[in-house]
């Protein structure tokens, strides 16, 4: 079994996308390959087929490898709930909540579990592509590291260090990282990668030669800056604020925004502009407003109230199209109650009150994969007898602590038919009488064609634009992953990487 680990000079230098590319390249070359990140910190998470929670970055990497995502690919997930506290997910299930110091002191408890996971994977796959987190040169964390050099040492993995030239100072970052390594750690580094380069590589080459002389490590390639319709690396998301398409979708950028990958399928539509809004002035007059998920729903609602966005959204909802997802759905309701202090010390607060539902936060987290259909038939035209009337098929996943209770004026939006493979009949979400305000607990509702196509064509008809068919997001993602592999294969010395892993090509 071969292995390689991509570490970086810091956060957001492109580690995740490089691992994704290598997973697809090795798969294309005929190897069974699997991604692995011991510890991830992200508010973008996903629910596996067996109802476990993991980071979204490893989900994309799994797809690149041709695998169904599994929690062992990301055994520890940290989900920040405030500046100093986070929820700890271990092997896909909630382990507890802790401060940064509390977690730092408990990290070594997980070393044996991580090693066991990795050794089990070694029996199943030809190659494991590992990802570090943040910077491996955080010398204050070295003695308890379980995700960078500590993990590499635990399983004896060779390391490649990536640096982001787009940030500036890439040579200093790479040299400084090597300087702060111990002698044993430096010996483990087999190469560097310059990432996100714009310009003529010939101009860069003298610097590469000088860097190699300084750090005594070869550069394995320069990857250009590119734009593909793939999920952004955790923490590296560019929250667009401009209208760039005929359809203007405004997403409320909550302070604790989570699972904003729900919007990626919308971004893939050519005539759609997805922009993020943080103030009343930025809101404008969009065709659709989406309130996304949140890791701290009540605090985010109070922030919207304080800055005036709550009132602006309520005014907009009188005639505009408004959708809330998970935490956003809870915000649209009348009341939010947190009797156990799950999210905050605020025990109860009024919601926006545009949907007649009440949320109660419970101590047990719901993590399920679901298939559902709309309860009512929908069409994009005003004629209720139109042959276009049909129920919409939905699939996605739930990650939430709250349960919504319906008031007398609330109508369920979806009926869940399947939860984690079990047949059920459960109501989800809500829709108002006029049909312009909707909420749901289902993440990924736009990934499937039906709901995305309905919402966008409803907007197109209202704007007298031509209706369009939407493509499956999965087919688009596969094409983009192949494009990614082509770019990275052309940019890196892949044969050298195989050599480092001990594979003769």
* Catalytic center residues: 326, 443
Report the C-alpha gap between 174 and 488 in whole angstroms: 20
Q: What is the DSSP letter of 262?
A: G
Crossing angle, helix 473-491 and helix 15-28, to 10 degrees? 90
Separation of alpha carbons 137 and 112, rounded Å:
23
Which backbone phi and psi does 55 adopt, to 5 degrees? -75, 145
**Cα(145)–Cα(218) distance, rounded to whole angstroms?**
26
Burial class (CB in 10 A: 0-12, 13-18, 19+), 267: middle
> What is the per-residue DSSP string for 90-146?
ETTEEEEEEEHHHHHHHGGGGHHHHHHHHHHHHTT-SEEEEE--S-TT-GGGGGG-S
**Alpha carbon 38 to its chain's center:** 17
Q: Per-residue b/e over 482-494, b at no fewer than 16 CB within 10 Å? A: ebbbeebbebbeb
- Strand runs labelled E in 213-338: 219-224, 247-252, 257-258, 272-277, 288-291, 293-294, 321-325, 335-337
Counted residue by residue, the chain has a size of 505
- Decide: helix, strand or coil at residue 300: helix
Diameter of the chain by CA atoms? 75
* Cβ(351)–Cβ(330) below 8 Å: yes
């Amino acid at each position: 079994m071969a292995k390689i680990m991509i570490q970086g000079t810091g956060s957001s230098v492109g580690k995740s996308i490089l691992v994704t590319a290598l997973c697809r390249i090795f798969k294309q070359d005929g190897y069974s390959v699997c991604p692995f990140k011991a510890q991830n910190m992200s508010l973008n998470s996903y629910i596996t087929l067996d109802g476990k929670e993991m980071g979204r970055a490893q989900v994309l990497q799994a797809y690149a490898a041709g695998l169904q995502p599994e929690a062992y690919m990301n055994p520890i997930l940290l989900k920040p709930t405030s500046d100093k506290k986070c929820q700890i997910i271990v092997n896909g299930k909630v382990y507890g909540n802790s401060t940064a110091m509390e977690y730092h002191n408990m990290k070594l408890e997980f070393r044996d579990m991580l090693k066991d996971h990795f050794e089990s994977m070694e029996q199943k796959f030809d190659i494991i592509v590992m990802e570090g987190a943040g910077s491996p040169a955080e010398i204050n964390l070295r003695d308890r590291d379980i995700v960078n050099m500590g993990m590499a040492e635990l399983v004896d993995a060779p390391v490649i260090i990536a640096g982001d030239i787009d940030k500036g100072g890439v040579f200093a970052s790479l040299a400084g990282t090597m300087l702060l390594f111990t002698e044993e750690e430096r010996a483990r580094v087999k190469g560097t990668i310059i990432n996100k380069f714009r310009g003529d590589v010939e101009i860069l080459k003298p610097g590469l030669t000088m860097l190699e002389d300084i750090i005594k490590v070869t550069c394995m390639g320069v990857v250009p800056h590119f734009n593909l319709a793939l999920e952004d690396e955790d923490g590296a998301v560019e929250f667009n604020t401009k209208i760039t398409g005929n359809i203007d979708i405004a997403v409320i950028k909550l302070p604790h925004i989570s699972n904003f990958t729900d919007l990626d399928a919308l971004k893939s539509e050519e005539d759609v502009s997805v922009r993020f809004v943080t103030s009343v002035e930025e809101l404008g007059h969009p065709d659709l407003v989406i309130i996304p998920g949140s890791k701290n729903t009540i605090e985010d609602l109070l922030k919207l109230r304080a800055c005036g966005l709550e009132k602006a959204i309520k005014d907009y909802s009188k005639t505009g199209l408004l959708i809330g997802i998970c935490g956003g759905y809870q915000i649209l309701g009348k009341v939010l109650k947190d009797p156990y202090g799950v999210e905050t010390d605020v025990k109860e607060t009024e919601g926006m009150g545009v949907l007649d539902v009440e949320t109660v936060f419970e101590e047990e987290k719901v993590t399920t994969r679901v298939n559902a259909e709309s309860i009512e038939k929908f069409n994009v035209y005003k004629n209720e007898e139109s042959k276009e009337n049909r129920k919409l098929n939905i699939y996605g996943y739930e990650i939430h602590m709250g349960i919504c209770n319906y008031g007398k004026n609330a109508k369920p939006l979806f009926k869940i038919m399947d939860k984690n493979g079990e047949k059920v009949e459960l109501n989800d979400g809500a829709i108002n009488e006029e049909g312009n305000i909707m909420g749901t607990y289902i993440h990924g509702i736009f990934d499937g064609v039906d709901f995305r196509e309905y919402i966008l064509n409803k907007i197109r008809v209202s704007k007298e634009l031509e209706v369009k068919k939407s493509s499956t997001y999965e087919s688009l993602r596969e094409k983009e992953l192949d494009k990614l592999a082509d770019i990275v294969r052309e940019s890196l010395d892949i044969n050298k990487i195989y050599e480092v892993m001990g594979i003769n090509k």
